Structures are given as structure tokens and as C-alpha cells.
Amino acid sequence: MRRQLEDYPDEPIYNMKAVEQQTGISAATLRAWERRYTLIQPKRTASGYRLYSERDVALLRWVRRQMEEGLTISRVVAMLEAARQHGDTIYIEPQDASAVLDRHTPQPPAEFVQPLVQALISLDTERADEVIEQAFVLFTMPTVYVEVITPALVEIGELWHRGEISISIEHFATTYLRGRLLGLLQAYPHRSDMPMIIVGCAPGERHEVGALIFAVMLRQHGFNAIYLGQDVPVDDIVQTAIQERAAMICLSASSAASALALREVKPLLAQSQCPNPPLFGYGGRAFDTDPELRRQVDGYYLGSDPRDAINLIVNLLRSQRDGR
């Protein structure tokens, strides 16, 4: 099925490595085209990384195909400008972009975990920045969150739980990573036109990095993700979600006690008599490790990998919209 260029979403979600992999166009060429032509002007994160949308990727694939057929880049740009001036439609065949992400990388993401841990336990933020930036160049952002930042944090926390590093060092590392994630969260534009998803931690819960990573990924996906932070009272979240007409509430719990506090969410949503109550989903270590908790808490268990959770939410919201 052919799609018009304008049908492809314009949210900036792909870093340069992902675009290289999806289009076969090198980073050096992408930068040169950006300098010379107005063809693609990627958005930037707060720390200056380029971010491209699915529309950019589709357009670049189209450009590449024209060049494979023998046209020069300046000719393709001229064609495109003429098409835009005349209001012509550009059709681009869809391709499963996610299938080609993160392939062919020389170094696996796991190789970045120890350098990051070492940098953080030496209180060396400059080195930690370097490691994370290098990982962002090589891998997609979700991969960096799930396969580099998450295991580094777990390793640091385990060192602390085993008494091998001090609580100050653990707090420093968590604060640094939390700061980077909050910076990313704020770097994305506020999308009031997109479904609102409220993300936070269950009552009593102070483990917040899983929820924070998930909120950043929802934003990258174009959702209007609102991140509430640690230890939020359930009745308050439900009230806010209803007032704000949120599409979904997603909560995180690492301990059994905070997981069990989430049993209240569905009854409170039912009591509100709201005609279109938000959906309720949950995740976190408590649910990942104890299936009994999943049976006790009514709602959607979103799984242990936030990348799968995003796909599940997209499908749930689509089914709800289509009345299925």
C-alpha cells in the first residue's frame, strides 16, 4: 500500500545511527545534506543530538531510491522543491522500520555498561557523559535506556546493597542518570493534541527509574506523557487522570507492598462513574518477579520491557478508539 509523505508521523524519535541503518545513508552524508539543502532539518535534543521523524526517514529512503536510479542529489532536491511548489503528492511505500533498527552494530550495547558503572562510581560525570553519548551514537534511544542505563543502575545499586560502595556513591549515580532522563523528557515538545498518559510510582514507591524511562519512551513515541515521580497517592492520580481526560494511567511498583496498593485503582475508576475512564496499566520489578501480584491487581500488566509495553499501549488505545 502506498502512503503519502504527510501520512508519516513527524515526531522526532530516531537518532542518527537509527537513520543510517534504515536508509543506508551515512551520518557524514546526512550532515552534509543538512548543511547544503533544506531537504531535512532534524530536531535536536537538549544536549544537541539530532532526532529524525518517521517522515524524515521515509523522505530519505525516497531520495536514496531516486539516486539509485541515476539522479544526483541536487537534481532530487530540485525535483522535490518543484513538487512542493506545485502541490504534487509524493507517495512512499511503507517499510517495517523497527525491523532494521540496531542491526549490524560492531559493539553490543552491553559493552557500555561496565564503562558507565566505572565512570559513575569514580564520580566522573565527564566520562559518564562520554559513554552515554557514544552509546546514543551507535544505538537507538530505547536500546540505550533498556540495555545500557538500566543494567548500569542495577549493577550500581547491587554494589550498594552488598555494601561494596557507599550510599553517597549510589545516590550520586542515581541522581546523575535520573537527571539525564528528566532532561530528555523535557527536551520533547509538549503534545497536548496527543493522548495523555499519566506515569508515576505507586504509593510508598521510591524506585522511579523504570517509570521515568517509560515516560521518556512514551514522549518519544509522540504521546503526551505526564510524569508524576515517586510515591503518588492512588486516589489523587485517579482524580487527576479523570479531570485531565487522560487516556491511560501507568504505574510502577518494585515492592509487593506498593504493588498491592494498586488494587485500589480499578475500583476508584469504577466509582468515579466517568463515561470514558482512562485505561489502567502497570509494570515494575514487583510484578515482573511475582505473577501472583499480577493476579491480584486488576489492570493491564504491561510487561518487563518498556519497548513491548509501548506497542501494547498503542494497540490498546487503538482498540479502544475503534470501539473493540
2 is a contact residue toward ligand B12 (CB under 6 A):
no
Bridge-partner residues for 224, per DSSP?
196
* Residue 275 exposure: Cα atoms within 13 Å on the Cβ side: 0
Q: Which of 109, 142, 200, 283 binds ligand B12 (CB under 6 A)?
A: 283
Question: What angle do the packed helices 167-187 and 125-138 form, to 10 degrees?
Answer: 40
All residues at 6 or more sequence positions from 181 whose CB lies less than 8 Å from its CB, including other chains: 145, 149, 209, 212, 213, 216
* Residue-wise DSSP of 170-194: HHHHHHHHHHHHHHHHHHSPP-TTS
180 is a contact residue toward ligand B12 (CB under 6 A):
no
Q: Which of 125, 255, 272, 311 binds ligand B12 (CB under 6 A)?
A: 255
In the complex, what is the shortest distance from the CB of residue 209 to ligand B12, in angstroms, rounded to a whole number? 4
CA distance 302 to 281: 6
In the complex, what is the shortest distance from the CB of residue 87 to ligand B12, in angstroms, rounded to a whole number? 43
Q: Which is nearer to ligand B12, 42 or 306 (CB)?
A: 306
How buried is residue 266: exposed, middle or buried, by Cβ count under 10 Å (0-12/13-18/19+)? middle
Q: Which is nearer to ligand B12, 79 or 159 (CB)?
A: 159
* Phi and psi torsions of 48, nearest 5°: 95, 5
316 is a contact residue toward ligand B12 (CB under 6 A):
no
109 is a contact residue toward ligand B12 (CB under 6 A):
no
Q: Which of 17, 55, 61, 207 binds ligand B12 (CB under 6 A)?
A: 207
Listed ranges 29-37, 114-122, 189-197, 284-292: which one lies at the site for ligand B12 (CB under 6 A)? 284-292
In the complex, what is the shortest distance from the CB of residue 287 to ligand B12, in angstroms, rounded to a whole number? 7
How buried is residue 138: exposed, middle or buried, by Cβ count under 10 Å (0-12/13-18/19+)? buried
Listed ranges 31-39, 78-86, 155-163, 266-274: which one lies at the site for ligand B12 (CB under 6 A)? 155-163
Listed ranges 47-55, 87-95, 278-286, 291-299: which one lies at the site for ligand B12 (CB under 6 A)? 278-286
Query: Do 71 and 82 form a contact (C-beta atoms < 8 A)?
Result: no
Listed ranges 1-9, 50-58, 79-87, 277-285: which one lies at the site for ligand B12 (CB under 6 A)? 277-285
In the complex, what is the shortest distance from the CB of residue 248 to ligand B12, in angstroms, rounded to a whole number? 10
Q: Which of 21, 150, 220, 224 binds ligand B12 (CB under 6 A)?
A: 150
Q: Which of 174, 226, 241, 262 binds ligand B12 (CB under 6 A)?
A: 174
306 is a contact residue toward ligand B12 (CB under 6 A):
yes
Bridge-partner residues for 52, per DSSP?
14
21 is a contact residue toward ligand B12 (CB under 6 A):
no
Helix (H, G, I), strand (E, B) or coil at 269: helix
* Phi and psi torsions of 301, nearest 5°: -80, 125
